[in-house]
Amino acid sequence: MATILLIIIYLAFISLGLPDSLLGATWPNMRLDFGAPVDAAGYISIIVVVGTIISSLASTAVLKRLGTGRVTFISVAVTAISLLGFSYTHSLILLGALALPLGLGAGSIDAGLNNYVATHYKAHHMSWLHCFWGIGAMTGPIIMSGFISAGESWRKGFLTVSLIQFALVVVLFLSLPLWKRAEKNTLTTAHEAHPEAAALIPPADNVMKIKGVKLALLTFLFYCGVETTLGLWGSSYLVNVKDMSTAAAAGWVSLYYGGITAGRFITGFVTFRFTNKALIRAGLLISLLGGVVLALPLPDMFALVGFILVGLGCAPIFPCMLHETPVRFGKANSQKIMGYQMALAYTGSAILPPLLGWVAARTTFMIVPPVLIGYVLVMVLCSEKINRLMHSAASKAS
């Protein structure tokens, strides 16, 4: 039963990734149909992020009331309906309105499934879970590109992704009895995933007062700042600073995302030998090295090395930090903290890249590597401080 449920969770994460890159990949065609300016995609994206942040913050109460299975089922259904609306609407205002439920559907499922896997499964599953998100994020543009290349409307791309989501809705509906049975075995499976004494931290009325929580939230904020900033502005950096062609720059950025996805697949196997703490530390150091390589005045080929290093470094950080949440702060507090972590992660993606872009457009894109290095250094300081707090707490407990 646990294996079947895990497969369903993996499928849900593919579906979570499918819409994430669709808007950006489709917008050059979409905006012509709507008669919209180029920057309108940014406003739609912000609406999606706002919806995601709201549902992430509300996820604890919603999951407690409905359970992970029903929340996942409802969230994917809302996402499918929103994408179906995208495929048919001819109004930019309605497109913006549909963006809100698209974000709302993503937030609760993200927080809920991340916490479920963190508390019920071992670390390698968390890494592979986020690898499957990457597969979804890469598949969305491939589907869209296939329709556009064949001379079909972009609307068919959104319709196809929507139908895939509806197919998953049926699977999730049929799996609801599995979730109910899994909840009865929750204590046993949770102990198998996290036998550590640190996971016995009692429930807290205000989780923000638990030592290390604020540092963890900062780490998530800046992690997504690194991942999204290089993805959004990496091509502009290569074109404006390295005098590279747009096509070549786009190819190098795709290798960056490929590094993250492949790195998470590999990390799943590495977790059998190394702890989450060790992998987070290694990921941070590799990302820092990648940022330094990008910042140094080296031949252009080293920029590719820098991109791949940052991608490989990012690979273990996010899933391993999520999986450590119950260990760091206790299983009883993990769902609420998970919601906060996802909210801060989305906030980092929404705020830090546009802020850097605004500054770079008025100065130079040469600031991209130093800013990335600064973000990683903040993460290193926060992460090591959390490790010291956890070590101190474990010493007192023994």
Residue 187: per-residue pLDDT: 47
Which stretch of 5-14, 115-124, 163-172, 205-214 has the lowest confidence by average pLDDT?
115-124
Query: What are the start-end ranges of the H helices in the chain?
Result: 2-17, 22-34, 40-57, 59-66, 68-88, 92-120, 123-149, 154-174, 176-184, 186-193, 213-241, 246-270, 276-295, 300-329, 331-362, 368-397
pLDDT exceeds 90 at position 250: no
Count of all residues that appear for the chain in the document: 398
Mean pLDDT of the chain: 86
- Please, which pLDDT band fits residue 193 given cuts at 50, 70 and 90? low
pLDDT exceeds 80 at position 42: no
What's the Cα-to-Cα distance from 326 to each of 14, 89, 222, rounded to whole Å? 24, 43, 21
Burial of 305 (0-12, 13-18, 19+ CB in 10 A): middle
- Please, which pLDDT band fits residue 199 given cuts at 50, 70 and 90? very low
Q: How far apart are CA 195 and CA 200, in angstroms?
A: 9
pLDDT exceeds 50 at position 138: yes
- What average pLDDT score do residues 199-223 get? 86
Residue 186: per-residue pLDDT: 55
Residue 13: per-residue pLDDT: 86
- What average pLDDT score do residues 210-215 get? 92
Which stretch of 4-8, 117-121, 287-291 has the lowest confidence by average pLDDT?
117-121
Q: How far apart are CA 114 and CA 108, in angstroms?
A: 10
pLDDT exceeds 70 at position 159: yes
Task: Please give the share of the chain, as a percent, with pLDDT higher than 90.
Answer: 34
- Please, which pLDDT band fits residue 3 given cuts at 50, 70 and 90? confident
pLDDT exceeds 60 at position 234: yes
Copy the structure tokens of residue 342: 């996802």
pLDDT exceeds 60 at position 253: yes
CB atoms within 10 A of CB 363: 9
For residues 374 and 342, which has the higher predicted lDDT (pLDDT)?
A: 374
Q: What is the pLDDT of residues 312-359, one digit of tens each?
A: 999 999 999 999 998 888 888 888 898 899 889 989 988 888 888 888
- Please, which pLDDT band fits residue 195 given cuts at 50, 70 and 90? low
pLDDT exceeds 60 at position 194: no
Closest residue by Cα to residue 34 from 102, 88, 99, 100: 88
Which stretch of 5-9, 48-52, 142-146, 291-295 has the lowest confidence by average pLDDT?
142-146
- Please, which pLDDT band fits residue 197 given cuts at 50, 70 and 90? very low
Q: What is the pLDDT of residues 74-121, one digit of tens each?
A: 999 999 999 999 999 999 999 999 999 999 988 877 878 888 888 888
For residues 24 and 245, which has the higher predicted lDDT (pLDDT)?
A: 245
Residue 31: per-residue pLDDT: 84
- Please, which pLDDT band fits residue 290 given cuts at 50, 70 and 90? very high
Residue 99: per-residue pLDDT: 92
Residue 188: per-residue pLDDT: 47
Residue 344: per-residue pLDDT: 92
pLDDT exceeds 60 at position 51: yes
Which stretch of 120-134, 191-205, 228-242, 360-374 has the lowest confidence by average pLDDT?
191-205
Which stretch of 63-77, 248-262, 340-354 has the lowest confidence by average pLDDT?
248-262
Q: How far apart are CA 5 and CA 118, in angstroms?
A: 14
